[in-house]
């Protein structure tokens, strides 16, 4: 068990390192000149050279990357090129907003997904099951930004019940939360339904029925607990995706989160902010994956025996 955890942590750190290297390389190859953007078209060659030296842009790629990693290990994420504020100070507040939005979205998706999945499996091949299949297929076919636009048209434009952009109140949470939760709930619903139906025909289920257990006891003691294992893994993965990938939804609703900050930093060519956001997202995703793996090993005895 300990060896497996150490191996998982090492692979996670390697993935974060590769993600930072890839982000650094993409920003290096991106069009535009940040020095020209900061100083303007009327700047002199001397001014441009001075700023390049201050930003270490006159150094080779590998030197700048290793310098950045060294500063990162010391907790220094750099300074924003646009407003001069420490990047860590900028990101912390935005990350908290994204974390709140993601937690609410994931909680809603888990409650709805597990309930619909179990309900659909209990009514297999019935009208309820067919309705759930069609509904989840529709939710999966429409991207999150499409759902966001649809919800905005209904609740903001026509009914005028909810605000479209901004943050600060409970009403501002609702539309972004629903836009992220609906596709995730559809994924969880289909997974829970499929796993529960798969468990019905397993040998241990047939044995339990042969021993005289009621249908309710079979579902509560055997089918549902075993169907939870892959569903828990999926929830952890989806939470990581939502936490690091809510860029479009946050931008559409002008939600003051990490995704919107990253998009704006890309347009502004504020590379320290972009790098910090990418590394933070990769680190969080790896931490969540590691936690899910550990939880999966605790829930599934077959995996524990294989360690």
Q: Please state, in angstroms and rounded to a whole number, the distance separating the CA atoms of residues 119 and 130.
A: 11
For domain 87-306, give the CATH number.
1.10.3720.10
For 206-248, what is each residue's pLDDT tens digit? 777 777 777 777 777 777 777 777 777 778 777 877 776 677 8
Q: Give the global pTM.
A: 0.78
8 A C-beta contact, residue 173 and residue 212 = no
For 16-62, what is each residue's pLDDT tens digit? 888 888 888 887 777 766 777 677 767 777 877 887 777 777 788 88
Alpha carbon separation from 206 to 200, 203, 211, 237 (Å, rounded): 8, 5, 9, 32
Q: Please state, in angstroms and rounded to a whole number, the distance separating the CA atoms of residues 263 and 260.
A: 5
For 66-89, what is each residue's pLDDT tens digit? 888 888 888 888 888 888 888 988
Going from N- to C-terminal start, the domains of the chain cover 87-306
For 100-158, what is each residue's pLDDT tens digit? 888 889 899 999 998 898 888 888 888 989 999 999 999 888 888 888 888 888 888 88
How many whole angstroms from its chain centre is CA 211? 44
What pLDDT is stored for residue 108 in this prediction? 92
Q: Please state, in angstroms and rounded to a whole number, the distance separating the CA atoms of residues 242 and 257.
A: 12
What pLDDT is stored for residue 1 in this prediction? 61
What pLDDT is stored for residue 135 in this prediction? 92
């Amino acid at each position: 068990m300990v060896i497996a955890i150490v191996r998982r942590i090492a692979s996670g750190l390697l993935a974060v390192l590769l993600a930072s290297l890839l982000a650094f390389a993409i920003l290096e190859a991106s069009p535009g000149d940040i020095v020209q953007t900061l100083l303007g078209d009327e700047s002199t060659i001397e001014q441009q050279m001075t700023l390049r030296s201050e930003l270490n842009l006159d150094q080779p790629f590998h030197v700048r990357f290793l310098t950045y990693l060294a500063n990162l290990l010391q907790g220094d994420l750099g300074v924003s090129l646009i407003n001069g504020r420490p990047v860590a100070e900028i990101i912390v507040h935005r990350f908290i907003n994204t974390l709140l939005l993601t937690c609410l979205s994931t909680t809603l998706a888990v409650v709805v997904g597990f309930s619909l999945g179990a309900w659909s499996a209990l009514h297999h091949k019935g009208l309820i099951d067919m309705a759930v299949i069609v509904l989840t297929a529709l939710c999966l076919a429409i991207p999150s930004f499409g759902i966001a636009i649809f919800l905005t048209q209904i609740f903001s434009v026509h009914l005028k019940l909810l605000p479209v952009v901004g943050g600060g109140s409970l009403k501002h949470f609702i539309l972004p939360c629903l836009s992220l939760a609906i596709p995730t709930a559809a994924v969880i619903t289909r997974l829970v339904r499929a796993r529960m139906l798969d468990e019905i025909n397993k040998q241990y289920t047939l044995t339990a029925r042969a021993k005289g257990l009621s249908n309710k006891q079979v579902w509560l003691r055997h089918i549902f607990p075993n169907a939870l294992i892959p569903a828990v893994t999926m929830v952890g993965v989806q939470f990581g995706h939502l936490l690091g990938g809510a860029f479009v939804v946050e931008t559409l609703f002008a939600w003051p989160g990490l995704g919107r900050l990253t998009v704006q930093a890309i347009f502004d060519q504020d590379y320290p902010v972009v790098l910090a956001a990418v590394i933070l997202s990769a680190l969080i995703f790896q931490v969540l994956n590691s936690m899910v793996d550990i939880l999966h090993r605790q829930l599934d005895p077959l995996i524990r025996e294989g360690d």
